[in-house]
Amino acid sequence: MSDTGITPLLQRVRQCDLCRQQLPQPPRPVLQLDPRARLLIIGQAPGRLAHQSGIPFNDSSGDRLRDWLGLDRQQFYHSGLVAVLPMGFCYPGRGRSGDLPPRTECAPQWHPPLIEALPDCQLWLLVGRYAQDYYLADKRSLTERVRDQQPDARQFCLPHPSPRNRFWLQRNPWFEQQQLPALRQRVAELLD
Ligand code: SF4
């Protein structure tokens, strides 16, 4: 899809109010998309800071994710290299133990046409349980998915980089010691 072809689609996304009634604030879809992107990051939903700025992963989770991938902010926010599609594009609000799950209306509505507009994406990063449950549709735990995957898998699973996940990272040091170096190298080659 050309740049001009993607514009009407993105305008429709920006005007979406499909689940307005369930959101704590008026819809503000937060995503990053350009048909030239080579790396696709499918995350969860924008947190409060990303919602306020309108910039995906513009928070401490994003800082950790960039560190995992070996990307600085300039590279990460180069839409011609990296696309970011959360499972829910709008901030879902807070629950008793953190942000609420992404709205389930969003991915079925918007992911198919948007992903179709990304013909050059050679690596998908499924970040966190919601993206993995949706796209893998298997019964494995997140730990099993992250641990038991091929380093060259087209759909590569990551834990969510939220600071709330630090205990998972402490319990599973193999992730940072063994998987991240290979992933960084793959991302560098892909975006070179
Ligand atoms: S979360 Fe998705 S489906 Fe809901 S209003 Fe925002 S863009 Fe539309």
pLDDT digits (tens, 9 = 90+) for 149-173: 988 899 999 999 999 899 999 999 9
CA 41/CA 121 separation, integer angstroms: 10
pLDDT for the residue 98: 86
Answer yes or no: is the C-beta of 176 below 6 A from any ligand 1 atom.
no
Answer yes or no: is the C-beta of 27 below 6 A from any ligand 1 atom.
yes
Place of tokens 């990304």: 118
Residue bearing the CA closest to ligand 1, atom 1: 90
Residue 180 burial class via C-beta count within 10 angstroms: exposed 0-12, middle 13-18, buried 19 and up: middle
Strand pairing category for 123-127 and 39-43: parallel
Answer yes or no: is the C-beta of 88 below 6 A from any ligand 1 atom.
yes
CA 50 to centroid of ligand 1, rounded, Å: 15
CA 104 to centroid of ligand 1, rounded, Å: 9
Note whether 89 and 98 are within 8 A (CB): no
Q: Is the pLDDT of residue 146 over 80?
A: yes
pLDDT for the residue 3: 57
- Residue of 12, 18, 33, 91 to mutate, ligand 1, most atoms within 8 A of C-beta: 18
CA 45/CA 35 separation, integer angstroms: 21
Note whether 120 and 37 are within 8 A (CB): yes
Band (pLDDT 50/70/90 cuts) for residue 133 is very high
CA 2 to centroid of ligand 1, rounded, Å: 24
pLDDT for the residue 192: 87
Note whether 128 and 159 are within 8 A (CB): yes
CA 97/CA 116 separation, integer angstroms: 35
Q: Is the pLDDT of residue 4 over 70?
A: no
CA 4 to centroid of ligand 1, rounded, Å: 23
The HSE-up count of residue 115 (CA atoms within 13 Å, CB side) is 16
Domains of the chain: 3-191 (3.40.470.10)
